[in-house]
Structure 1
Amino acid sequence: SVCALIFGLVVDPKLGYPRDWDLFAFTGLGYTILGIYFLLNVLKESEVKKLRYVTSALVWTALISTLPWIYVNAAEEKAVQRIAHILELNGKRGALGHEALAYYYRNRWQKDKEIEEWRKAIALIQKPRYLKNLGVVYVEVGKYQEVAWQLEKVLEKDPNDHLTHSDLGKTYMALGRYKDAKHELQKAIELQPKNSIYYENLGFFFFNLRSFEESKEVFQKGLQIDSSYFPNYRNLGFACANSGGNEDAIRYLELYLKYKPEAKDRNYVQELVRRLRAKDRVP
């Protein structure tokens, strides 16, 4: 017990018994149990049952062994410093720790620090999850070129990741790389042909380019694949309205309202239907 205590305090005081309970609690267990043994021998009465005696010893040992760890980690700033220090010692095994810190900073909207932690994790292990999460942060701060680079790296490791193809297509769209965007969005559908959301993404790609006829074809295809994906009724209604097909637009928009009576955009869609009935063109 004494040797273990010396190891915990001398080899690296910052990684001593109070800091990492799971690794260093054993350094205090020996003399803690011995001390409790003597204490209970003095205090216990003859009628105290042996089981209660043993239980008391175990409870007090657990408390004394755990409370220092709780004390150290109760302070948020100290806990973060502790993790950061351990990561410096763990080398390549520290990727999960950087991931934990990245989520910590994400919850506090400290984007620069979150990006830094994801980069550190990626430098240790090129996991697709890390690359994707870094891409998410870049989207949130508007750095679309960096997003594209991260998603391209993910596809180098897994070229059949249909979700990443879809995300990369939307990213290329934001960058104005329309040819590449179309290719990636179509690739996502090729890999996952029954995913209605991918048809929605490709349909809006054409919609944003004001290619309304192509947009309608894609939305219709999406409904053929899955008629229960109700947003595509609305999307098809938008496309029809913008291409002069007011009657079809009204029909699809009313179907959307029928299937999604609690839709968040219900008021907007109802107003659009009213305008179309009055033969107003959508601006």
Structure 2
Amino acid sequence: MTEQKHEDLETVIEELEKKCAEHPESVMAHHHLGLVYMKAGRIEDAIASLEKAIEVDPLNGDSMINLGAIHFGQGDLEKALKLNEEAVRVQPESAQAYANLGLIWQQQSELEKAIENYEKALQYDPKLVTAWLNLTSVLTMKGEDDRAVKAAKKGLEIDPDSALGHNNLAVALYFKQEFAEAYKHMQRAKELGYSVDPNFSAKLQEHVS
């Protein structure tokens, strides 16, 4: 089945490459080709296609966001930051760009900037689960346990089966010393396949034994 999917992907790539050759000014063709290259693991080709989409349309925030995601994955936070900042400039209401900026600042331990951007993302898309869950993590790092719990619960309202959401809520509740409730969410995170930190699991187990 995997091989068949790979063959289908290559067919789509061939069709999009042909479309890009025939219509070199088609932003969407270059953008979609970049996304398919990403799925196929052809990262350098994906970068080239997304860069071409931006070259054709310098206001194409979606390509900037996806290109930023590639550079983030490669550990180039500077390029990822610049691309998402530019995406926000051209698409001021882009929740995903703000959420990405939050994650970039979080990776650099700039917690206030991370919070500011996550909250901005949620202003434009209150149902963006990843923003709620990442906001939970940052608030926990800052020791703002009440806000962290609220953020985690918001995320779980949207996606009740988020393994990361249950883990993050467990951690936030632990620091509020609500151990029984924390244990319940930790167990649920495990059931959903999350690899809970064994040290955290052991400490929480001690409090509920």
Judge same fold: TM > 0.5, yes or no: yes
Tell me which residue corresponds to 2:192: 263
Q: Distance in 2 between matches of 1:108 and 1:92?
A: 23
Tell me which residue corresponds to 1:252: 182
- What is the Cα deviation at residue 170 of structure 1? 0.7
**Over the residues paired in the alignment, what is the CA RMSD in angstroms?**
3.7
Tell me which residue corresponds to 2:169: 236
Could you tell me which of 131, 134, 139 is aligned with 2:67?
A: 134
Q: Distance in 2 between matches of 1:272 and 1:174?
A: 21
Q: Distance in 2 between matches of 1:109 and 1:99?
A: 15
- What is the Cα deviation at residue 143 of structure 1? 1.4
- Deviations along 1:46-83, whole A, 9 cap, x unmatched? xxxxxxxxxxxxxxxxxxxxxxxxxxxxxx7xx85x94
Contact 1:135/1:147 (<8 A) preserved = yes
Aligned residue for 1:179, secondary structure, equals helix
The 1:116–1:233 alpha-carbon spacing in structure 2 relative to 1, beyond 3 Å, is closer
- What is the Cα deviation at residue 199 of structure 1? 2.7
Tell me which residue corresponds to 2:5: none
1:183 aligns to 2:183 (yes or no): no
| Deviates further, 173-182 or 198-207 | 173-182
- Where does structure 1 lack aligned partners over 5 or more consecutive residues? 1-75
Q: Distance in 1 between matches of 2:122 and 2:36?
A: 35
1:223 aligns to 2:146 (yes or no): no
Contact 1:189/1:195 (<8 A) preserved = yes
Tell me which residue corresponds to 1:116: 48
Tell me which residue corresponds to 1:105: 37
1:278 aligns to 2:209 (yes or no): no
Q: Distance in 2 between matches of 1:182 and 1:238?
A: 18
- Deviations along 1:88-125, whole A, 9 cap, x unmatched? x64423x3343344245324423222211211111002
- What is the Cα deviation at residue 84 of structure 1? 6.6
- What is the Cα deviation at residue 270 of structure 1? 8.8
Rg comparison, structure with higher value: 1
Share of identical aligned residues, percent?
15
Higher relative contact order (CA 8 A, sep 6+): 2
Contact 2:99/2:117 (<8 A) preserved = yes
Contact 2:129/2:158 (<8 A) preserved = no
Contact 1:173/1:181 (<8 A) preserved = yes
Tell me which residue corresponds to 1:146: 79
Q: Distance in 2 between matches of 1:114 and 1:221?
A: 34
Q: TM-score, normalised by structure 1?
A: 0.55
Instruction: State the number of aligned residues.
Output: 194
Q: Distance in 1 between matches of 2:48 and 2:116?
A: 31
Q: Distance in 2 between matches of 1:227 and 1:171?
A: 24
